[in-house]
Chain A
């Protein structure tokens, strides 16, 4: 079976500190992974490595069969990351931010698609407000809209439920189910273990950057 993720002795060092140490695991395509662990255990680092925002110091990380460093150009269109950093421009409006991403992705009829997405995420009334004026929850919704502009084969969600209201959480759960129904592998990093386990198939628990048995 084809693998969505394959990590072989993956390590990542920041200065003298090893954020990930000789991590090996695999995830078949179409399966979803729950990533758990305490703060600083390496979850965000692992998600950033999979997203090709940074690269392993040692070891090999393959995503959808592509080497994350050597084949990053082919890989990037297939992977989407929703992280703590929203990647948005504070001084542009929600619509301008999404429109920029849509045009860079080559989405047909970007204005229509952006308007639909803003409506779907409950942001249409604030479409012309600069992101600087958005609450944390609204920023998260906008980040989700950004993810929906593409059809990722691997969706990486870093604490996706944080800052969301109950309606937003329900919407996020529906989104995860939708991505899975489209055949995408979802990697979900969260402290809400029960909720995460309900939404995913497999679990990887990290402690000090190493794979560990879940408590």
Chain B
């Protein structure tokens, strides 16, 4: 028997998460309607002024993704807590860091997929122009989703067995995400509107740095989180 490498095991964990997602589709539907409702409500609250709508679109897009991420991250470890499946993975044995990588990529891909669905809705509701820097916009969305998922996976694992896990996850996660959200909203703004002072590059660097820091921290801490004392 040749065991898969760390990346091979992470890929199997990721594929398993996709299989569960596809089989149930409940989480996908909930995430979609939740974030659509968020975008719709904010656009109605802002009124019909197109200039104001365009100016606030990046913030509301990321708010929709942030709220959806709480649902998505919580559910991601609920399936691991059922039947102690996570313990089963650890005892198989799967290197906890492979589980971390697989779960982060699973959560990030789900959020990124959701953001792609939300883009045309944002165009319809906020009249933004996606054609200005589409590839850079996709990069910002990807880095932002990865940045939510990296600490989110660690905190979701920590709070999975807590009695008040639905309250605990946002309490732990949201303060950590403040710099990421500031960078993501600003970077998104400069992909949708003119960027005369070329600020996009610095926000992208901040997003990348945030991702790298929290991927590294999660990679180091996750074994402590999933191993019982």
Contacts and interface: CB of A to CB of B under 8 A. Distances in A.
B101 to A, nearest CB: 14
A118 interface: no
B229 interface: yes
A89 interface: yes
Contacts of A81: 91
Interface residues of B, number: 26
Contacts of B93: 73, 76-77
Interface in A77-92: 77, 79, 81, 85-92
A96 interface: yes
Contacts of A87: 83-85, 87-89, 91
B229 A54 contact: yes
- Main SS class of interface, A: loop
B211 to A, nearest CB: 27
Contact of B91 (A76, A91, A107, A108): A76
B79 A91 contact: yes
B91 A104 contact: no
A51 B91 contact: yes
Contacts of A105: 1, 3, 92
A103 B4 contact: yes
A100 B102 CA distance: 13
- Main SS class of interface, B: helix
A54 B228 contact: yes
A130 B12 CA distance: 19
A178 B1 CA distance: 20
A85 B82 CA distance: 9
A75 to B, nearest CB: 9
Interface stretch (B18-26, B159-167, B181-189): B18-26
A55 B85 contact: no
Given A77-B93, A100-B12, A53 B228 contact: yes
B83 A106 contact: no
Contacts of B94: 104
B4 A101 contact: no
A103 B85 CA distance: 16
B228 A91 contact: no
Contacts of B228: 53-55
B2 interface: yes
B181 to A, nearest CB: 31
Contacts of B2: 106
Nearest to B2: A106
A101 B1 CA distance: 12
Nearest to B84: A85
A103 B89 CA distance: 12
A178 to B, nearest CB: 19
Interface string B120-133: 00000000000000
A80 B88 CA distance: 10
A107 B16 CA distance: 17
A52 interface: yes
A15 B4 CA distance: 38
A45 to B, nearest CB: 11
Given A54-B228, A88-B88, A89-B83, A104 B12 contact: yes
A53 B85 contact: no
B31 interface: no
Contact of A91 (B12, B24, B88): B24
A55 B228 CA distance: 7
9 contacts: A53-B91, A76-B91, A87-B84, A87-B85, A87-B89, A89-B20, A90-B82, A106-B2, A108-B1
Interface of B: 1-4, 9, 12, 16, 19-20, 23-24, 79, 82-85, 87-94, 228-229
User: Which 8 interchain pairs have the tightest Cβ spacing?
Assistant: A87-B88, A76-B93, A85-B84, A54-B228, A106-B1, A106-B3, A106-B2, A91-B20
